[in-house]
Structure formats: C-alpha cells, structure tokens
Amino acid sequence: MRYARLPGRSLRAGQEFALLREASIRKVYNLVHLIYRSKQYEGDSKDYEFSRLSMQDHWRAGYNDTVRTLRHPAVLERPQNEEGFVTFDLSRDGSD
C-alpha cells in the first residue's frame, strides 16, 4: 500500500488522512462530445430561432445522437491510458 510509508501511524488513523486518501484516488473520465450539426434547411437564424418546432427538432437530434453514442461500448469503459481521460466525438467521422 502506498500510504504505508507515511510517518506516524496515529496520523494515518485520523479524519484528515481519510479525507486526503479519498481525494488522492485516481479518477478517470470519459467525455462524450455531442455537437448539434445544422440542417441544410436552417439558415443564420438558427442561433436565435427558438420556436417550438425548432426546439423539438434540436432535442430530437440530441436524443438521437445520445442513443447512437451509447451503442458504442467504448464510451462506457474506464480509460486505460496514463491520463485517465478519453474523449469521444462519434458524429465527427459519421460513425454509427
């Protein structure tokens, strides 16, 4: 155990040590990047056009992107690299 080399057994039994030990546990992250891709029929007004129809279209696109992304098991696997961080942008290359 890497904490055994720390001096003072009584220090290792305290609340402060427990807090520091918890904070030092290596965390890992998967970041899934979902980007709304404009439809051909949308013009420059897409940045400020918030009609019910437009918003439902955007929400549906986000939902579909999420479902498609979660079909890839790699997005749920713990990163094995040194950094403990992996990013995914599956829509960039058109993967399904």
Supply the pLDDT for residue 94: 52
Supply the pLDDT for residue 95: 47
**Is this model's pTM higher than 0.75 or not?**
no
Q: Kindly list the averaged pLDDT for each block of 10 residues, start to end, along the chain of length 96.
A: 69 79 77 81 78 90 88 87 83 52
Q: Label residues 45-54 b or e (16+ Cβ within 10 Å = b).
A: eeeeeeeeee
Give the 3-state secondary structure of residue 59.
helix
- Phi/psi at 87 (5° precision): -115, 150
Supply the pLDDT for residue 24: 72
Supply the pLDDT for residue 37: 76
Smallest CA-to-CA distance from 20 within 38, 2, 34, 43 is with 2
Sign of CA dihedral 52, 57, 61, 66: positive
